[in-house]
Amino acid sequence: MILELKNIYKNYQQGKMEVPVLKDVNFSMEEGEYVAIMGPSGSGKTTLMNIIGCLDKSTSGTFLLDGQDVNKCTENEMSDIRLRKIGFVFQSFHLLPKQSAIENVMMPLNYAGVPKKKRREIAFAALERVGLADRVDFRPNQLSGGQMQRVAIARAIVNSPKILLADEPTGALDSKSSVQVMDLFQKLNDEGVTVLMITHDSEIADYAKRAVLIRDGVLSEKEVSARE
Ligand code: ADP
Ligand code: MG
């Protein structure tokens, strides 16, 4: 099991009020799985992703990532886990605008202390993997939305993470680019990358092999439509 959440609750403090957002979430993934989390806006998808991504802790419950009990980790241990084990992809790409594609992809390697020449080689290979070997020196504003997201995906996989987390990865893309990004996730998953993707679009969710549904902070398995 790559990750396991047991009886996870998350409340946000809103002034004097505790606002419950996640309610007794139980969820797990095997290594190599490809899962979509679906749900309407405000249902708690990003909150859940932040917990799984070790960006935030739950209020109660147990979360094991790769066997490690994350609620017992310090801030430093959590940032170490993020660096070594998790790749993030966001709706709005989060690329550094003044850096070229390859410099963006090299960024996690800088933090990991990889020597400079090696960084370039590894980042180039990651850009090749997402089909952008011919765009390494382009800055984000010289790329299309779909290409920017592929750079972001290259950056997310450059450290060979245990799991790729994507929060609405096609939310800012046209349908053609969305299909390209989904084809890429498919390819990476076929190559063994574990993928967890948030979406509120059921056509996008259909690319995953399993889908779960979150409604008002309550998570349930979704019946998979006949697509095999
Ligand atoms: P989704 O990603 O499904 O749209 P979110 O996880 O972003 O939903 O938000 C779920 C609920 O939690 C919303 O009602 C939102 O207002 C609330 N929420 C999210 N982040 C915070 C925060 N930092 N402080 C207080 N409330 C929050
Ligand atoms: Mg969200």
CB neighbours of 115 closer than 8 A, spacing ≥ 6? none
Q: How far apart are the CA of 104 and the centre of ligand 1, in A?
A: 28
58 in contact with ligand 1, CB cutoff 6 A: no
Cα–Cα distance between 27 and 181 in angstroms, integer? 25
Closest-CA residue to 200 (of 42, 8, 21, 23):
42
- Backbone phi, psi, residue 127, to 5°: -65, -35
CB neighbours of 133 closer than 8 A, spacing ≥ 6? 124, 127
How far from chain centre, in Å, is Cα 10? 19
40 in contact with ligand 1, CB cutoff 6 A: no
The DSSP secondary-structure symbol of 225 reads P
- Classify burial at 190, counting beta carbons within 10 Å of its beta carbon; exposed 0-12, middle 13-18, buried 19 or more: exposed
| pTM attached to this predicted model | 0.94
The DSSP secondary-structure symbol of 211 reads E
- The residue segments making up the domain with residue 9 are 3-224
Amino acid identity of residue 173, one-letter, is L
Q: How far apart are the CA of 143 and the centre of ligand 2, in A?
A: 25
Rg of the chain, C-alpha, whole Å: 17
Cα–Cα distance between 10 and 49 in angstroms, integer? 12
189 in contact with ligand 1, CB cutoff 6 A: no
Hunting for tokens 């390494």 — which residue is that? 136
* pLDDT tens-place values along the chain, 228 residues long: 999 999 999 999 999 999 999 999 999 999 999 999 999 999 999 999 999 999 999 999 999 999 999 999 999 999 999 999 999 999 999 999 999 999 999 999 988 889 999 999 999 999 999 999 999 999 999 999 999 999 999 999 999 999 999 999 999 999 999 999 999 999 999 999 999 999 989 999 999 999 999 999 999 988 655 554
CATH code of residue 94 = 3.40.50.300
Question: Domain tally for the chain?
Answer: 1
